[in-house]
Amino acid sequence: MEHIATHNRKLIFTPAIRIFHWLRALAILVLVITGFYISWPFLVAPESSDVLVQGWIRFAHIVFGFLLTSITLVRFYLFFFSRNNIERKSFKDVMSVNSWIVQLKSYFWMGNLHKSGVYGPLQFMTYVAISFAALIVCITGLVLYANVYHLGVGGLLGGVSDWLTALCGGLANLRTFHHYLTWAFIIFVVIHVYMAVWSGIRFKHNSVDSIVSGYDYHKDH
Ligand code: HEM
């Protein structure tokens, strides 16, 4: 039987964007869980003092913290300098009042969504906000790190870290700030996953599979 394609496909997400998306998702998941544990170490101390429960959890937090820091920097770079300009193109819609109205209306089932790039304007601004939240959580995390580890990277960051600590009115405030930011990620992830699934169903475009395969499968209209 002859095969007739019912859908078109278009590559929207480069392998780098997809890999960093999932690495970032993993890092955030581990950081939220280990971070809450650091904040409230609920496991009962074992008999032996040789078992470092808190130590290992802190270790995982720091390893994934450095992973998130690296990804955050690479992603800022890729946004501006990636050869694929599908993300940058979305900025055109952010500057157009009409595109905002079209997007907001489409969320209420009025009309369709027409985008210049891959993100709608509200979606774009949400990602900008969460990227800056990531930057701040990484900076405050590195300051907390530098206050404990005085050699290597910690030593290198010592001066800036003292300055930032003073700016926040002390390490306790900075730590609270780092803790509050955790909630920004939790709220973001819940809405993000919901919107990704919902918009795939609503617009029949950019479904969740696009960030796995890179392709947007859609009918030609
Ligand atoms: C999404 C990202 C992150 C989340 C959700 C997160 C969450 C948390 C939370 C909830 C705490 C406990 C604060 C408290 O005591 O109340 C914490 C502590 C800490 N975080 Fe993060 N964090 C993140 C990223 C980072 C990064 C990028 C670093 C940098 C390497 C980092 C380093 C630290 C350090 C050193 C502590 C203090 C541990 C201690 O006092 O024993 N975090 N984090």
CATH code of 104's domain:
1.20.950.20
In one-letter notation, the amino acid at residue 105 is K
Structure tokens at 62: 């720091």
Cβ(32) – ligand 1 distance below 6 Å: yes
User: Is residue 187 one of the residues assigned to a domain?
Assistant: yes
Q: Which domain holds residue 19?
A: 7-219
Residue of the nearest CA to atom 15 in ligand 1? 39
How far, in Å, from the CA of 168 to the mean position of ligand 1? 16
Distance CA 146, CA 160 (A): 10
User: Is residue 1 one of the residues assigned to a domain?
Assistant: no
- CA 197 from centre of chain: 17
User: Is residue 68 one of the residues assigned to a domain?
Assistant: yes
Structure tokens at 137: 């959580």
User: Is residue 138 one of the residues assigned to a domain?
Assistant: yes
> Do 216 and 12 form a contact (C-beta atoms < 8 A)?
yes
How far, in Å, from the CA of 172 to the mean position of ligand 1? 13
User: Is residue 208 one of the residues assigned to a domain?
Assistant: yes
Helix 53-81 × helix 15-39 angle, to 10°: 150
How many domains would you assign to the chain?
A: 1
DSSP element (H, E) containing 159: helix 152-167
∠ CA 114-219-2, nearest 5°, is 165
User: Is residue 173 one of the residues assigned to a domain?
Assistant: yes
CA-CA distances (angstroms) from residue 165 to 31, 136, 143, 172? 21, 13, 7, 9
pLDDT at 127: 96
Looking at ligand 1, which atom is closest to the CA of residue 66? 30
Q: How many helices and strands in the chain, by DSSP H and E?
A: 9, 2
User: Is residue 2 one of the residues assigned to a domain?
Assistant: no
pLDDT at 36: 97
How far, in Å, from the CA of 59 to the mean position of ligand 1? 11
Residue of the nearest CA to atom 33 in ligand 1? 141
Q: Phi first, then psi: what are they for 217, rounded to 5°? A: -95, 125
The whole-number mean pLDDT for each consecutive block of 10 residues of the chain, a chain of 221 residues, reads: 77 91 98 96 76 89 98 95 89 92 91 84 96 97 95 94 96 97 98 94 83 82 52
In one-letter notation, the amino acid at residue 189 is V
